[in-house]
A and B are shown apart, each in its own frame.
Chain A
């Protein structure tokens, strides 16, 4: 931290030298955080509670203003080049601009999805949006941090707000449990991360990323135990945040338990920010040590790709399935990072392919979770994959949208998912990691299976009874007609020992099959058809438009990603 050093040394001579601040570099953060605080202040000062619409609209305005600031940054970087500010603690380059654009868009989409969710669950107050915006600020900060301390601060601003958001739905026991798990493991990983910073500081004498790179370029560290230990601990901290195997244990539980719009936000933003900081720290600062870290990333990528894909196969809960799929996607981004370790042009291609993947994934993930959120019904509980049976008949548009997003995640052509996978695999091949590329293709094939399973289930006829599950559904259906309430049903199933699971399943079946009287939700006329809020439709529409639009015309986004090069590329 040279800021502190400057201030300390200057104060000895009487004055305090303030570092030069280029406000444009931190404008999106200022807008986002300032807007969030303003919204919170206004909401607590006005006499009556603020309307959800007002809160959503102001969140949208703030996010779009932040997005506009990021675009201003983009043109500034294109015309004047990249630079650091705040005494080199913050960097403005193409890479940071792309991360900021991504986070601000994700925030706007989450506000759209969250509107309907808050109405349905009866969550009043601006805290939902305010916390999400604070979290987004942390994510943006991680994208443009040029100092390990700033990375840590960004990480914590992002995470602490997310812990609260995970626990946001107090009526659901799962929500609190998810928050506690996220908090304990998140705190654990942050502590490891800080210790990693401390060891790196000890080995290099600075926490500034540029100065670390300079130090490593000019000095040969003879006994490099301290440095490598620091590097490893930093990597473990990052791996927790981006949910890379073997540090992924929290992901399925937290994704399942959190409110669904927040799950989408978390999967997109926390992953993007974590990877952005990981790429910047490893490629620009520790580029000299690539021989040491590349094999570790290689191994992480292999296990992440395989474990994510295989474990997703056996899930029965759609949110858990998408959680494992997000782990699988993290493996693909690691592929890009592994390639980014290569020298020169190949390395730059690795960086831009990883960023492109994150960009494509953001819209696919938020769109998918938006649909899951809408279909979850009141209480945000109906997330069994079997609920999606026959969705194509009941809600053709929603089913079509979900099918497109899932196919994109699987890497079908004419979607961004395809180009993203193509780019990271091509980058890996360029970097001479052919076996890794092959493993990635295998994992993509396995992953395609569980995405297609959901798609097929949605378009299978309602009374499609071919397997055991179908028989059981039929049985449950018959009993569901006979009895009206859960309490009356319980004795029927008490012998099985798995009451809760069965009752859940029964409820799910009821949602799927039964007559309108047995459903407690009054505003749904047809029982099994859920009301889709208009704003959620807008959000899903934007996600589809980006996914398919840039899938058919990939040039603009690919170009954008290629401009997102790092300022310091050794």
Chain B
């Protein structure tokens, strides 16, 4: 049994939606962080699917670039999280309130 590309695209769209909603509604920094990763991976899945559908290897190569960038982002992001939450005990974004906004 084989699935058509549309299913993969739909799955990617759903994952992207879950990620986007997660970033907007969840208040825990680490969860927000994971949601961003989910969005990036949804984009990767879309790239691979289109790459297969179009018969073009380019889309799969893009995924490597995105993976590398995502890894770099994780390194920096976790560094910032650790640096900030050394001061406080929780990782809830609402606990940060020095800057009004």
Contacts and interface: CB of A to CB of B under 8 A. Distances in A.
Interface of A: 1-5, 8, 149, 152-153, 156, 160, 163-164, 167, 170, 173-174, 176-181, 183-184, 187-188, 190-192, 194-195, 197-199, 201-202, 205-207, 249, 252-253, 256-257
Interface of A is mostly: helix
A173 B85 CA distance: 10
A170 B12 CA distance: 39
Contact of A152 (B53, B58, B69): B69
Given A195-B39, A198-B46, A167 B62 contact: no
Interface of B: 9, 12, 16, 19-20, 23, 29, 32-33, 36, 39-40, 42-44, 46-47, 49-50, 53-54, 56-59, 61-62, 65-66, 69, 72-73, 76-77, 79-81, 83-84, 87, 93, 96, 98-101
Contacts of A181: 96, 99
A229 B85 CA distance: 38
Given A156-B73, A191-B39, A199-B46, A174 B98 contact: yes
B84 A152 contact: no
A197 B16 CA distance: 14
Given A191-B36, A194-B40, A207 B58 contact: yes
Contact of A197 (B23, B43, B53, B54): B43
Given A181-B96, A188-B23, A190-B73, 5 more contacts: A1-B59, A160-B72, A177-B99, A201-B62, A253-B101
A195 B42 contact: yes
Nearest to B84: A176
Contacts of A198: 12, 43-44, 46-47, 50, 59, 62
Nearest to B42: A195
Given A194-B66, A197-B43, A2 B36 contact: no
B87 A163 contact: no
A149 B62 contact: yes
B80 A180 contact: yes
B77 A163 contact: yes
13 contacts: A152-B65, A177-B96, A180-B81, A181-B99, A183-B76, A184-B33, A188-B20, A191-B19, A191-B39, A191-B40, A192-B20, A252-B101, A253-B100
B72 A156 contact: yes
Contacts of B9: 202
Most A C-beta atoms less than 10 A away, residue of B40, B66, B81, B101: B101
Nearest to B49: A202
B59 A201 contact: yes
A1 B64 CA distance: 12
Contacts of B62: 1, 149, 197-198, 201, 207
Contacts of A167: 80, 83-84
A173 B87 contact: yes
Contacts of B72: 156, 160
Contact of A164 (B20, B39, B44, B76): B76
A170 B83 contact: yes
B83 A249 contact: no
Given A187-B77, A198-B43, A177 B57 contact: no
Contacts of B12: 198
A384 B19 CA distance: 38
A407 B34 CA distance: 45
B16 A195 contact: yes
Contacts of B98: 173-174, 177, 257
Contact of B80 (A163, A202, A207): A163
A184 B20 CA distance: 12
A2 B58 contact: yes
Given A152-B69, A177-B96, A183 B80 contact: yes
Nearest to B88: A173
B47 A187 contact: no
A202 B13 CA distance: 13
Contacts of B76: 160, 163-164, 183
Given A163-B76, A180-B81, A195-B39, A202 B46 contact: yes
Nearest to B32: A184
Contact of A5 (B36, B43, B56): B56
Contacts of A178: 99
A2 B56 CA distance: 9
A176 B83 contact: yes
A177 B84 contact: yes
Contacts of A5: 56-58
The 8 closest A-B pairs by CB, nearest first: A191-B39, A1-B58, A4-B61, A198-B46, A202-B50, A176-B84, A194-B43, A253-B101
Nearest to A205: B54
B21 to A, nearest CB: 11
A251 to B, nearest CB: 9
A173 B61 CA distance: 40
Given A195-B16, A195-B39, A198-B46, A149 B54 contact: no
B99 A195 contact: no
A161 to B, nearest CB: 9
A526 B27 CA distance: 47
B29 A184 contact: yes
A176 B56 contact: no
A183 B87 contact: no
Contacts of B73: 156, 160, 183, 187, 190
Contacts of A149: 62, 65
A176 B46 contact: no
Nearest to A500: B98
Contacts of B46: 195, 198-199, 202
